[in-house]
């Protein structure tokens, strides 16, 4: 189940664990990505917490957790080549996986169609 936040994160829930990334639109808006900070596995976070940072040439952008829970896995391989983070690969470029404490938090989030409508 794929859901989006108003801050352009996506979460793809599989069972009780969701992979989290940022949308193609967000990657395009960032421009050249020059530094990424990811969270540490084992961290417990609340929905809306700043959990990662994307730095472009011009600015630093916070990435917020779309759900509450425990971060179980972090995609450190992403940091090897930041130029691989492109809009067309947005859904392969997951940042971390989170064991979601309350799947009900996702109910109020946007599906693909609602998110597409928001950004156009």
Partner 1 sequence: METRRTPLYDFHLANGARMVPFAGWDMPVQYADGIKAEHLATRDSAALFDVSHMAQVWLAGTDADTALEQLTPTDVGAIADGRVRYSMFLDDNGGVLDDLMIARLGGDLQLVVNAGRADHDIAHLRANLAGDVTMSIRDDRALLALQGPQAPQALRRLGVDLDGFFFMQIGHFTIDGIDCIITRSGYTGEDGFEISMPADKAVQLAERLCADEAVSLAGLGARDTLRLEAGLPLWGHELDETINPVTAGLRFALSKRRREAADFPGADAIMKDWNDGPARQLVGLLPQGGRPVRDGAELEIDGTIVGHVTSGGFAPSLDAPAALGFVDAALTSPGTEINALVRGREVPVFVAALPLVPHRYIRG
Q: Which residues bind partner 1 (CB under 8 A)?
A: 31-32, 34-35, 37, 53, 55-60
The answer to whether the Cα torsion of 13, 19, 20, 26 is positive or negative is: negative
* Cβ distance to partner 1 smaller for residue 35 or 102: 35
Q: How many CB atoms lie within 10 A of CB 77?
A: 9
To the nearest whole angstrom, how small is the minimum distance from the Cβ of residue 111 to partner 1? 28
- Cβ distance 36 to 53 under 8 Å? yes
What is the spatial distance between Cα 55 and Cα 6, in angstroms, rounded to a whole number?
19
* Cβ distance to partner 1 smaller for residue 62 or 102: 62
What is the spatial distance between Cα 74 and Cα 109, in angstroms, rounded to a whole number?
23
* Cβ distance to partner 1 smaller for residue 13 or 27: 27
Q: Which of 95, 91, 108 is nearest to 47 (CA)?
A: 108
The string of DSSP codes covering 77-89 is: GGGG-GGG--GGG
* Cβ distance to partner 1 smaller for residue 58 or 91: 58
To the nearest whole angstrom, how small is the minimum distance from the Cβ of residue 7 to partner 1? 17
């Amino acid at each position: 189940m794929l859901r989006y936040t108003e801050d352009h994160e996506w979460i793809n829930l599989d069972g009780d664990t969701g992979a989290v990334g940022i949308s193609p639109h967000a990657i395009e808006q960032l421009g050249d990505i020059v530094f990424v900070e990811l969270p540490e596995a084992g961290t417990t976070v609340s929905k809306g917490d700043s959990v990662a940072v994307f730095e472009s040439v011009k600015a630093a952008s916070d990435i917020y957790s779309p759900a509450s829970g425990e971060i179980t896995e972090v995609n450190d391989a992403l940091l090897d080549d930041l130029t691989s983070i492109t809009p067309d690969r947005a859904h392969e470029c997951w940042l971390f996986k989170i064991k979601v404490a309350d799947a009900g938090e996702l109910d109020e989030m946007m599906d693909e169609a609602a998110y597409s409508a928001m950004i156009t």
